Structure 1
Amino acid sequence: MKFHLAINLERLDASLDMKAVRDHTLEMVQMAEAAGFEIAWAAEHHALEMTIAPNPFQILTWWGEHTKTIRLGVGVANAAYWHPIKLAGEAAMLDLLSDGRLEFGIGSGAYQREFDRMMPGLDQRDSWQYMQESLPVVQKLWAGDYAHEGTYWQFPTATSCPKPVQDEVPIWVAARAPITFDYAVEHGCDIMSWPLTMPFSEAEAYRARLDDAIAKNGGRYDGRWALMRHTAVYDTEEDRSGAMSSLRRVLGQFGNLMMKRGEVVNGFPDPVPLEEMEGNARVDPEMLEENLMFGSPEVVVEKLAKYQKLGVDAFIYYASMGMDMDQQKRSLQLFIDKVMPAFAQKELAHAG
């Protein structure tokens, strides 16, 4: 099983210095590269301090300038927000500047609040249609001259300038719904899934959808399946408590965005009071610790083994989630020192 890192520029309040937040992400990516992580992922979100990511290509280019081997994952571009010519060119420029390290991810977005500002009138539940139109257009633009007359975009003959350095850019699709699994498998795309804070059974449901999609495709699929979880590895009660309280604080803000409850003031979402969400597995501490990649190194090894057995090709270590920057580094270092070696040994044993 491979390991990836997903990290955002994240501020929960205005007390955090923006340059320190910026530099922290690079330090985490460099730690991951030194440890042999395969991909570093950057998201796209708008007008939110908890995920400062207006253009993933910018931060990935910056990370790429300060790294040598780790691949640079767009996780993911929201297709509805991008004209395909611009999306193709931005992605290809990243591939050129990084000497061919682009992993291109595309998806359908998350928050209706964001759509209300970026694409007024578009229901987030319908945005998959933009993704399915955009992706093949981007690939054709990478190949050469192409004119398009589609439902959402129309343009005369154009091409991507520059072209990608890679002969074939890896394509990732963010998938939870069966229709997206079907599309990804049919078109040979890699798949990333995020069960949010739901139990392991949610990951099993995704595996079933992937298997169903492969069966519909005649049993053919050579792609990779990556699964993302919020991760906190700790060896002290202080860090355990800190991780849980930080996570619950962020989930209150996340609840604001998902439930459209409360205000967002200057980019900071008002948290939904947790007592209004009690009884929900998304905020119950014991359920969160069980469902997410939280725990001592030994517990995290056990949890990861379940995902490996499920057929997950890569685990995406989702950092941040409200933890202070020093604790994020301690967690990642514990993962590197005490979790990853267990899987390196398993791979060596398997190869032998």
Structure 2
Amino acid sequence: MKFQLAINLERMTPSVDMKEVRDHTLEMVKMADAAGFEIAWAAEHHAMEMTIAPNPFQILTWWGEHAKNIRLGVGVVNAAYWHPIDLAGEAAFLDLTSDGRLEFGIGSGAYQREFDRMKPGLDQRDSWRYMQEMLPVVQKLWEGDYEHNGEFWQFPSATSCPKPVQKDVPVWVAARAPITFDYAVEHGCNIMSWPLTMPFSEAETYRARLDDAIAKNGGKYDGRWALMRHTAIYDNEVDRKAAMDAIRVQLSQFGNLMMKSGEVINGFPEQVPLDSLEGNARVDPEMLEQNLMFGSPGQVVEKLKMYEGIGVDGFIYYASMGMDMDQQKRSLKLFIDQVLPEFSEKELVNAG
């Protein structure tokens, strides 16, 4: 199993210095790079301080200049917000400047609130149609001149400038629904899944959907499957409590965004008071600690072995969860020092 890092430029309150967030994010990526993590993922979101990512290609170009080995993952671009020629060129330019380290991720978005501003009139539940039209168009533009007359985009003959350095750019599709698993397998795409705060059984459900999609495709699939979880490693009660408090606050904001149940003021989603969330399964501490990649190094090793056991090829360590920046570094260091060796040693044995 390979290990990957997903991290956002994240401000939970106006008192947090944006330059400190910038520097912290890069330091985390450099730590992952030095430890041999495979991919660093940057998202695309708009008008939200908790996920500052207006253009993942800018973020990844910046990271790539300072972290020289780790691959650079777009995790993920929202197809509905882009024009194919623009997207193809931006992605190819990142591949050029990073000497072929692009991992191209594409998806259908998450927040209806964001669609209401970026693509008014589009229901998030229908955005998969944009993704499925966009991806093959981008790939054809990478090959050379191509004319397109589709449902959502039409343009005369054009090409991507520049072209990618890689002959075959790895493509990732964000998938939870069966229809997206089917599409990814049929088109030979890698798959990334995020069970949110659901239990391990949700990952098993995704595995079953992947297996069903492979069966429909005649048993053929040579792609990879990565799974993302919020991650916090701790070795003391103070850090454990701080991690739990942080994720509960972030989830209350996330729920507001998903359900459009609160205001967003100057980029900051309203927080539901924590005392009003007691008993709510979404933020129940015991459930969160069990379901997420939370725990001591030993507990996390055992959880990761469960994911490895169902065929997860890559684990995405999701670092952004409102936790104090110093604690984020302590967590990642514990993961690197005490969790990673349990898997890298096994890989060396298998390779031998």
Instruction: Specify if TM > 0.5.
Output: yes
Does residue 260 (structure 1) correspond to residue 242 (structure 2)? The answer is no
Matches within 5 A, 1:80-99: 80-99=80-99
Q: Find the counterpart in structure 2 of residue 315 from structure 1.
A: 315
Count matched residues.
Answer: 352
Q: Find the counterpart in structure 1 of residue 79 from structure 2.
A: 79
Give, in whole Å, the separation in 2 of the partners of 1:158 and 1:63. Answer: 30
TM-score by length of 1: 0.99
Deviations 1:11-59 (A, max 9, x none): 0111111111011111000000000000000000000000000000001
SS of 1:207's equivalent?
helix
- Is the contact made by 1:198 and 1:281 (CA closer than 8 Å) also made in structure 2? no
Q: Find the counterpart in structure 1 of residue 134 from structure 2.
A: 134
Give, in whole Å, the separation in 2 of the partners of 1:137 and 1:155. Answer: 11
Q: Find the counterpart in structure 2 of residue 334 from structure 1.
A: 334
Give, in whole Å, the separation in 2 of the partners of 1:69 and 1:280. Answer: 42
1:348, distance to aligned residue in structure 2 (A): 2.9
**1:181 is matched by which residue type in structure 2?**
F
Deviations 1:221-241 (A, max 9, x none): 000000000000000111001
1:320, distance to aligned residue in structure 2 (A): 1.9
SS of 2:316's equivalent?
strand
**1:288 is matched by which residue type in structure 2?**
L
Give, in whole Å, the separation in 1 of the partners of 2:341 and 2:294. Answer: 18
Structure 1 unaligned spans of 5+: none
1:275, distance to aligned residue in structure 2 (A): 5.1
- Is the contact made by 1:261 and 1:272 (CA closer than 8 Å) also made in structure 2? no
Q: Find the counterpart in structure 1 of residue 53 from structure 2.
A: 53
1:349, distance to aligned residue in structure 2 (A): 3.3
Does residue 29 (structure 1) correspond to residue 29 (structure 2)? The answer is yes
Does residue 120 (structure 1) correspond to residue 120 (structure 2)? The answer is yes
**1:64 is matched by which residue type in structure 2?**
G
Q: Find the counterpart in structure 1 of residue 13 from structure 2.
A: 13
1:259, distance to aligned residue in structure 2 (A): 1.6
Does residue 149 (structure 1) correspond to residue 149 (structure 2)? The answer is yes
1:277, distance to aligned residue in structure 2 (A): 4.5
TM-score by length of 2: 0.99
1:168, distance to aligned residue in structure 2 (A): 0.7
**1:310 is matched by which residue type in structure 2?**
I
Give, in whole Å, the separation in 2 of the partners of 1:140 and 1:320. Answer: 34
SS of 1:156's equivalent?
strand
Give, in whole Å, the separation in 1 of the partners of 2:250 and 2:88. Answer: 33
Q: Percent identity?
A: 82
Does residue 198 (structure 1) correspond to residue 198 (structure 2)? The answer is yes
Give, in whole Å, the separation in 1 of the partners of 2:332 and 2:228. Answer: 15
Does residue 222 (structure 1) correspond to residue 216 (structure 2)? The answer is no
**2:334 is matched by which residue type in structure 1?**
L
Q: Find the counterpart in structure 1 of residue 68 from structure 2.
A: 68
1:281, distance to aligned residue in structure 2 (A): 2.8
- Is the contact made by 1:193 and 1:227 (CA closer than 8 Å) also made in structure 2? yes
1:351, distance to aligned residue in structure 2 (A): 3.5
Does residue 245 (structure 1) correspond to residue 245 (structure 2)? The answer is yes
Structure 2 unaligned spans of 5+: none
